[in-house]
Homo-oligomer: A and B are copies of this chain.
Amino acid sequence: MEKKTLLTDCPDAMGLISKITNICYKHQLNIIHNNEFVDHSNRQFFMRTELEGIFNDETFLFDLDRALPTGSHRRLVSSARKKIVIMVTKEAHCLGDILVKAFDGSLDVEIAAVVGNYDTLAPLVEKFDIPFHHVCHQGLSREEHEEKLLAAVQQYQPDYVVLAKYMRILTSNFVASFPNKIINIHHSFLPAFIGAKPYQQAFERGVKIIGATAHFVTNDLDEGPIITQNVIPVDHNFSAEDMARSGRDVEKSVLSKALGLVLDDKVFVHGNRTVIL
Protein backbone atom coordinates (compact mmCIF):
# COMPACT_ATOMS: atom_id res chain seq x y z
CA MET A 1 0.00 0.00 0.00
CA GLU A 2 1.36 3.37 -1.05
CA LYS A 3 0.26 6.96 -0.40
CA LYS A 4 0.11 9.59 -3.13
CA THR A 5 -1.59 12.95 -3.55
CA LEU A 6 -3.59 13.89 -6.61
CA LEU A 7 -3.72 17.61 -7.38
CA THR A 8 -6.33 18.67 -9.92
CA ASP A 9 -6.68 22.22 -11.23
CA CYS A 10 -9.08 22.77 -14.14
CA PRO A 11 -11.94 24.86 -15.50
CA ASP A 12 -15.07 24.27 -13.42
CA ALA A 13 -17.73 21.95 -14.80
CA MET A 14 -20.70 20.02 -13.47
CA GLY A 15 -19.94 16.65 -11.92
CA LEU A 16 -16.16 17.01 -11.58
CA ILE A 17 -15.99 15.70 -8.00
CA SER A 18 -18.10 12.77 -8.99
CA LYS A 19 -15.99 11.97 -12.04
CA ILE A 20 -12.67 12.17 -10.21
CA THR A 21 -13.78 10.24 -7.14
CA ASN A 22 -15.36 7.61 -9.39
CA ILE A 23 -12.03 7.03 -11.08
CA CYS A 24 -10.31 6.69 -7.69
CA TYR A 25 -13.04 4.26 -6.67
CA LYS A 26 -12.66 2.25 -9.87
CA HIS A 27 -8.90 1.97 -9.29
CA GLN A 28 -9.58 0.83 -5.72
CA LEU A 29 -7.74 3.82 -4.29
CA ASN A 30 -9.01 4.83 -0.87
CA ILE A 31 -9.55 8.57 -0.31
CA ILE A 32 -7.89 9.55 2.97
CA HIS A 33 -8.54 13.27 2.68
CA ASN A 34 -10.28 15.21 -0.01
CA ASN A 35 -10.61 18.96 -0.32
CA GLU A 36 -11.94 20.89 -3.22
CA PHE A 37 -12.55 24.55 -3.96
CA VAL A 38 -14.27 26.35 -6.78
CA ASP A 39 -13.14 29.89 -7.51
CA HIS A 40 -16.46 31.19 -8.81
CA SER A 41 -15.00 34.51 -9.96
CA ASN A 42 -12.66 32.64 -12.34
CA ARG A 43 -14.76 29.46 -12.77
CA GLN A 44 -11.75 27.38 -11.81
CA PHE A 45 -11.88 24.07 -9.91
CA PHE A 46 -9.20 22.85 -7.50
CA MET A 47 -9.07 19.49 -5.75
CA ARG A 48 -6.48 17.83 -3.54
CA THR A 49 -7.02 14.15 -2.90
CA GLU A 50 -4.85 12.05 -0.60
CA LEU A 51 -5.01 8.48 -1.82
CA GLU A 52 -3.94 5.13 -0.45
CA GLY A 53 -3.71 1.88 -2.38
CA ILE A 54 -1.78 0.15 -5.12
CA PHE A 55 -1.13 2.65 -7.88
CA ASN A 56 -0.86 2.08 -11.59
CA ASP A 57 0.00 5.67 -12.40
CA GLU A 58 -0.28 5.27 -16.13
CA THR A 59 -3.79 3.83 -16.35
CA PHE A 60 -5.03 6.04 -13.52
CA LEU A 61 -3.82 9.23 -15.18
CA PHE A 62 -5.07 8.00 -18.56
CA ASP A 63 -8.56 7.61 -17.13
CA LEU A 64 -8.32 11.00 -15.46
CA ASP A 65 -7.20 12.77 -18.60
CA ARG A 66 -10.14 11.37 -20.52
CA ALA A 67 -12.54 12.61 -17.84
CA LEU A 68 -11.14 16.10 -17.22
CA PRO A 69 -12.02 19.11 -19.39
CA THR A 70 -9.57 20.80 -21.78
CA GLY A 71 -7.08 23.02 -19.99
CA SER A 72 -6.76 20.79 -16.95
CA HIS A 73 -3.64 20.31 -14.88
CA ARG A 74 -3.26 17.26 -12.71
CA ARG A 75 -0.29 15.90 -10.80
CA LEU A 76 0.06 12.66 -8.88
CA VAL A 77 2.72 13.32 -6.28
CA SER A 78 4.49 10.65 -4.28
CA SER A 79 5.03 11.19 -0.58
CA ALA A 80 8.82 10.96 -0.90
CA ARG A 81 10.86 13.49 1.07
CA LYS A 82 11.57 16.67 -0.91
CA LYS A 83 14.87 18.44 -1.31
CA ILE A 84 15.51 22.17 -0.76
CA VAL A 85 18.37 24.60 -1.06
CA ILE A 86 18.27 27.55 1.34
CA MET A 87 19.67 30.97 0.41
CA VAL A 88 20.72 33.40 3.14
CA THR A 89 22.57 36.61 3.82
CA LYS A 90 23.52 37.26 7.48
CA GLU A 91 20.50 36.65 9.71
CA ALA A 92 20.27 33.32 11.51
CA HIS A 93 16.69 33.10 12.77
CA CYS A 94 14.83 31.72 9.73
CA LEU A 95 17.68 29.45 8.76
CA GLY A 96 18.11 28.22 12.34
CA ASP A 97 14.44 27.43 12.62
CA ILE A 98 14.45 25.31 9.46
CA LEU A 99 17.67 23.57 10.50
CA VAL A 100 16.21 22.58 13.88
CA LYS A 101 12.89 21.53 12.32
CA ALA A 102 14.60 19.36 9.74
CA PHE A 103 16.81 17.94 12.49
CA ASP A 104 13.92 16.92 14.77
CA GLY A 105 11.55 15.91 11.97
CA SER A 106 9.01 18.75 12.40
CA LEU A 107 9.66 19.47 8.74
CA ASP A 108 10.02 16.37 6.59
CA VAL A 109 12.64 17.77 4.25
CA GLU A 110 16.21 17.24 3.08
CA ILE A 111 18.30 20.41 3.21
CA ALA A 112 20.72 19.74 0.38
CA ALA A 113 22.78 22.88 0.91
CA VAL A 114 22.80 26.48 2.10
CA VAL A 115 24.07 29.25 -0.17
CA GLY A 116 25.01 32.65 1.27
CA ASN A 117 26.29 35.90 -0.22
CA TYR A 118 28.14 36.35 3.09
CA ASP A 119 29.85 33.59 5.05
CA THR A 120 28.40 34.75 8.39
CA LEU A 121 26.16 31.71 8.74
CA ALA A 122 28.63 29.05 7.64
CA PRO A 123 29.48 28.06 11.25
CA LEU A 124 25.78 27.49 12.06
CA VAL A 125 25.16 25.43 8.93
CA GLU A 126 28.25 23.32 9.40
CA LYS A 127 27.10 22.31 12.89
CA PHE A 128 24.37 20.39 11.09
CA ASP A 129 26.74 18.74 8.59
CA ILE A 130 25.16 20.52 5.65
CA PRO A 131 27.32 22.05 2.90
CA PHE A 132 27.53 25.86 2.93
CA HIS A 133 28.47 27.69 -0.27
CA HIS A 134 29.76 31.22 0.06
CA VAL A 135 28.97 33.01 -3.21
CA CYS A 136 30.24 36.52 -2.54
CA HIS A 137 28.67 39.29 -4.63
CA GLN A 138 31.49 41.76 -4.17
CA GLY A 139 33.37 42.76 -7.26
CA LEU A 140 30.89 40.96 -9.50
CA SER A 141 28.17 42.30 -11.76
CA ARG A 142 24.66 41.18 -10.84
CA GLU A 143 24.69 38.79 -13.80
CA GLU A 144 28.03 37.27 -12.90
CA HIS A 145 26.96 36.80 -9.30
CA GLU A 146 23.70 35.14 -10.24
CA GLU A 147 25.38 32.84 -12.65
CA LYS A 148 27.50 31.53 -9.80
CA LEU A 149 24.48 31.38 -7.49
CA LEU A 150 22.51 29.46 -10.07
CA ALA A 151 25.32 26.97 -10.53
CA ALA A 152 25.65 26.52 -6.76
CA VAL A 153 21.93 25.88 -6.39
CA GLN A 154 21.26 23.85 -9.50
CA GLN A 155 23.90 21.22 -8.81
CA TYR A 156 21.53 19.94 -6.10
CA GLN A 157 18.43 19.86 -8.35
CA PRO A 158 16.24 21.01 -5.48
CA ASP A 159 12.44 20.71 -5.47
CA TYR A 160 12.26 24.17 -3.90
CA VAL A 161 14.56 27.10 -3.18
CA VAL A 162 13.94 28.88 0.14
CA LEU A 163 15.04 32.48 0.58
CA ALA A 164 15.52 32.62 4.34
CA LYS A 165 16.25 36.34 4.56
CA TYR A 166 18.31 36.47 1.40
CA MET A 167 18.58 40.23 1.13
CA ARG A 168 19.34 40.78 -2.55
CA ILE A 169 16.92 41.04 -5.44
CA LEU A 170 17.02 38.13 -7.88
CA THR A 171 16.93 38.72 -11.63
CA SER A 172 14.25 37.34 -13.89
CA ASN A 173 16.78 34.85 -15.23
CA PHE A 174 17.22 33.24 -11.82
CA VAL A 175 13.50 33.37 -11.08
CA ALA A 176 12.63 31.79 -14.43
CA SER A 177 14.86 28.82 -13.57
CA PHE A 178 12.56 27.88 -10.68
CA PRO A 179 8.99 28.81 -11.63
CA ASN A 180 6.75 28.79 -8.51
CA LYS A 181 9.59 26.95 -6.77
CA ILE A 182 11.19 29.86 -4.89
CA ILE A 183 9.69 30.75 -1.50
CA ASN A 184 10.63 34.07 0.06
CA ILE A 185 9.97 35.60 3.48
CA HIS A 186 9.31 39.33 3.35
CA HIS A 187 9.52 41.15 6.66
CA SER A 188 6.29 43.09 6.38
CA PHE A 189 2.61 42.50 6.05
CA LEU A 190 2.51 42.80 2.25
CA PRO A 191 1.44 44.80 0.34
CA ALA A 192 2.29 47.29 3.09
CA PHE A 193 5.94 48.33 3.03
CA ILE A 194 7.14 46.83 -0.20
CA GLY A 195 10.85 47.14 -0.83
CA ALA A 196 13.74 47.98 1.46
CA LYS A 197 13.73 48.54 5.24
CA PRO A 198 10.10 47.65 5.96
CA TYR A 199 10.50 47.94 9.74
CA GLN A 200 11.88 51.46 9.36
CA GLN A 201 8.91 52.27 7.12
CA ALA A 202 6.52 50.73 9.68
CA PHE A 203 8.08 52.75 12.48
CA GLU A 204 7.78 55.99 10.53
CA ARG A 205 4.16 55.33 9.64
CA GLY A 206 3.36 54.62 13.29
CA VAL A 207 1.53 51.33 12.71
CA LYS A 208 0.21 49.34 15.66
CA ILE A 209 0.73 45.92 14.05
CA ILE A 210 3.66 44.50 12.11
CA GLY A 211 3.86 41.28 10.16
CA ALA A 212 5.59 38.97 7.76
CA THR A 213 4.64 37.41 4.44
CA ALA A 214 5.82 34.20 2.78
CA HIS A 215 5.27 34.18 -0.96
CA PHE A 216 6.41 32.60 -4.18
CA VAL A 217 8.90 34.77 -6.01
CA THR A 218 7.97 36.21 -9.38
CA ASN A 219 9.61 38.92 -11.41
CA ASP A 220 7.62 41.64 -9.68
CA LEU A 221 9.36 42.54 -6.45
CA ASP A 222 7.30 41.49 -3.41
CA GLU A 223 4.30 40.89 -5.67
CA GLY A 224 4.29 37.09 -5.98
CA PRO A 225 1.47 34.80 -4.78
CA ILE A 226 1.14 34.95 -0.99
CA ILE A 227 1.24 31.64 0.90
CA THR A 228 1.05 32.67 4.56
CA GLN A 229 1.04 35.87 6.61
CA ASN A 230 1.01 36.62 10.28
CA VAL A 231 1.23 39.68 12.50
CA ILE A 232 2.08 40.85 16.01
CA PRO A 233 0.99 43.98 17.86
CA VAL A 234 3.47 46.79 18.46
CA ASP A 235 3.10 50.20 20.09
CA HIS A 236 4.86 53.52 20.56
CA ASN A 237 7.49 51.82 22.74
CA PHE A 238 8.92 50.04 19.71
CA SER A 239 11.82 51.61 17.84
CA ALA A 240 12.45 50.35 14.31
CA GLU A 241 15.11 48.05 15.83
CA ASP A 242 12.65 46.72 18.41
CA MET A 243 10.22 45.97 15.61
CA ALA A 244 12.92 44.12 13.70
CA ARG A 245 13.81 42.09 16.80
CA SER A 246 10.19 41.22 17.60
CA GLY A 247 9.46 40.55 13.97
CA ARG A 248 12.01 37.74 13.79
CA ASP A 249 9.79 35.22 15.53
CA VAL A 250 6.92 36.01 13.15
CA GLU A 251 9.18 35.82 10.11
CA LYS A 252 10.49 32.41 10.99
CA SER A 253 7.13 30.91 11.92
CA VAL A 254 5.48 32.32 8.77
CA LEU A 255 8.27 30.98 6.56
CA SER A 256 8.35 27.52 8.08
CA LYS A 257 4.56 27.28 8.01
CA ALA A 258 4.57 28.18 4.30
CA LEU A 259 7.34 25.69 3.66
CA GLY A 260 5.39 22.96 5.44
CA LEU A 261 2.31 23.65 3.29
CA VAL A 262 4.38 23.55 0.11
CA LEU A 263 6.17 20.35 1.13
CA ASP A 264 2.77 18.75 1.86
CA ASP A 265 1.61 19.66 -1.68
CA LYS A 266 -1.22 21.79 -0.32
CA VAL A 267 -0.57 24.97 -2.28
CA PHE A 268 -2.03 25.67 -5.72
CA VAL A 269 -0.98 28.81 -7.56
CA HIS A 270 -3.59 30.42 -9.77
CA GLY A 271 -2.63 33.73 -11.31
CA ASN A 272 -1.33 35.85 -8.47
CA ARG A 273 -3.22 34.04 -5.73
CA THR A 274 -2.80 30.77 -3.87
CA VAL A 275 -5.43 28.18 -3.02
CA ILE A 276 -4.45 26.09 -0.02
CA LEU A 277 -6.27 22.78 0.34
Q: Is the CB of A100 within 8 A of B103?
A: no
Q: Is the CB of A273 within 8 A of B21?
A: no
Rounded to whole Å, the gap between the CB of A40 and the closest CB of chain B is 7
Residues of B within 8 A of A127 (CB): 127-128
Rounded to whole Å, the gap between the CB of A130 and the closest CB of chain B is 11
Whether, in the assembled complex, A170 has its beta carbon less than 8 Å from a beta carbon of chain B, the answer is no
Bound complex: CA A124 to CA B128 (Å): 9
Whether, in the assembled complex, A180 has its beta carbon less than 8 Å from a beta carbon of chain B, the answer is no
Rounded to whole Å, the gap between the CB of A6 and the closest CB of chain B is 13
Residues of B within 8 A of A225 (CB): 206
Whether, in the assembled complex, A208 has its beta carbon less than 8 Å from a beta carbon of chain B, the answer is yes
Whether, in the assembled complex, A11 has its beta carbon less than 8 Å from a beta carbon of chain B, the answer is no
Whether, in the assembled complex, A8 has its beta carbon less than 8 Å from a beta carbon of chain B, the answer is no
The DSSP consensus for interface residues of chain A is mixed
Rounded to whole Å, the gap between the CB of A277 and the closest CB of chain B is 8
Whether, in the assembled complex, A226 has its beta carbon less than 8 Å from a beta carbon of chain B, the answer is yes
Bound complex: CA A237 to CA B50 (Å): 14
When all copies of this chain in the complex are counted, the total is: 4
Chain A residues numbered 8-67 whose CB sits less than 8 Å from any CB in chain B: 14-15, 17-18, 21-22, 24-25, 30-41
Whether, in the assembled complex, A167 has its beta carbon less than 8 Å from a beta carbon of chain B, the answer is no
**Residue in contact with A253 in the complex, picked from B22, B39, B253, B274, CB distance below 8 Å:** B253
Residues of B within 8 A of A249 (CB): 253, 256-257
Rounded to whole Å, the gap between the CB of A148 and the closest CB of chain B is 26
Whether, in the assembled complex, A192 has its beta carbon less than 8 Å from a beta carbon of chain B, the answer is yes
Whether, in the assembled complex, A77 has its beta carbon less than 8 Å from a beta carbon of chain B, the answer is no
Whether, in the assembled complex, A118 has its beta carbon less than 8 Å from a beta carbon of chain B, the answer is no
Type the 1/0 row for A75-117, where 1 means its CB is closer than 8 Å to any CB of B.
0000000000000000111001101110110100000000000
Q: Which of A131-139, A154-162, A171-179, A227-235 contacts B (4 or more CB under 8 A)?
A: A227-235
Bound complex: CA A233 to CA B36 (Å): 20
Give the 10 A-B CB pairs with smallest separation, nearest first: A206-B273, A96-B100, A92-B104, A18-B21, A127-B127, A192-B192, A236-B275, A208-B229, A15-B25, A17-B21
Additional A-B contact list (20), CB under 8 Å, known A32-B38, A206-B225: A14-B30, A15-B21, A17-B17, A18-B24, A21-B21, A22-B22, A33-B38, A39-B236, A40-B239, A93-B104, A96-B100, A97-B97, A97-B100, A127-B127, A127-B128, A190-B192, A206-B272, A208-B229, A236-B273, A249-B256
